[in-house]
């Protein structure tokens, strides 16, 4: 089996399951990820996707035996490019739960997600140049995460960064004890799944449209997206939601009043 699927309420877990090859991505894995996302895209019961790996590796990237044999075209999916492109432009939130090393194409899959939660055992590296392969979407996504100077250093050196460093420089949002990785990530995913999925999709589209756009143009695009996503909720409905938010705030802060 190349990708294991598991449903937890409104969250679908996709586990890259090729531990004998450090979860390296071959054509079977790439297309299995794509097929799973195709199913999930049309499944209204799924609101958030979590991608993780089996064993002590998230993914070692492309299967270099296939690359060396000249079979790179086998990785191409209809969403375009290597597996790192599979999660790009997906209409539902995708969270990476990085359980170990995420290297080259494996790093790209994690970066294609909305954000990353890392195990304390996680490590990240862009090793494309070290193996003589031109980088994929890491060249686009990494500078947007951590800035161009740091991205250039990581890609040009091929050096690994540990989980704590990854969190400090902006690759990962959270670092958690290894045994708590999936429970913690699921708690975050469930919080996202509680939101109106139509509004979530609209907000993500607005982020995509305004990222790295000059402020004046970004403001114009934001107003367009806001107008297109306007709701007709009543004042009473909004007030009820506000009261629920205040109640949740008291629970999270451990206050009773």
Contacts of 114 (CB under 8 A, 6+ apart): 93, 94, 95, 204
Q: Where are the domains of the chain?
A: 3-193, 197-253
Percentage above 70 pLDDT, the chain: 78
More confident residue, 174 or 197: 174
For residue 218 the two structure tokens come to 């970004």
Contact 94, 141 (CB under 8 A): no
Q: For residue range 144-189, list pLDDT tens digits in order.
A: 999 999 999 999 999 999 999 999 999 999 999 999 999 999 999 9
Q: For residue range 108-143, list pLDDT tens digits in order.
A: 999 999 999 999 999 999 999 998 888 888 998 999
**CATH number of the structural domain 3-193:** 3.90.226.10
């Amino acid at each position: 089996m190349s990708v294991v699927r598991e449903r937890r309420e409104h969250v679908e877990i996709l586990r890259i399951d090729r531990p004998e090859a450090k979860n390296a991505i071959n054509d079977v894995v790439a297309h299995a990820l794509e097929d799973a996302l195709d199913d999930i895209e049309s499944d209204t019961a799924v609101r958030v996707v979590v991608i993780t790996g089996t064993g002590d590796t998230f993914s070692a990237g492309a299967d270099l035996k296939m690359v060396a044999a000249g079979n790179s075209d086998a990785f191409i999916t209809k969403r375009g490019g290597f597996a790192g492109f599979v999660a790009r432009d997906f209409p539902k939130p995708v969270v990476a739960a990085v359980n170990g090393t995420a290297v080259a194409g494996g790093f790209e899959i994690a970066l294609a997600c909305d954000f990353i939660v890392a195990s304390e055992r996680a490590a990240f590296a862009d090793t494309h140049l070290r193996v003589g392969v031109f980088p994929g979407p890491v060249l686009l996504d990494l500078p947007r995460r951590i800035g161009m100077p740091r991205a250039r250093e990581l890609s040009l050196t091929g050096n690994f960064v540990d989980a704590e460093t990854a969190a400090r420089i902006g690759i990962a949002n959270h670092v958690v004890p290894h045994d708590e990785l999936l429970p913690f990530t699921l708690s975050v995913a469930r919080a996202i799944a509680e939101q109106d999925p139509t509004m979530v999709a609209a907000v993500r589209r607005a982020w995509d449209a305004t990222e790295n756009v000059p402020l004046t143009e970004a403001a114009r695009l934001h107003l367009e997206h806001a107008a297109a996503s306007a709701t007709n909720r009543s004042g009473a409905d909004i007030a009820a939601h506000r009261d629920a938010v205040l109640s949740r705030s008291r629970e999270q802060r451990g206050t009773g009043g």
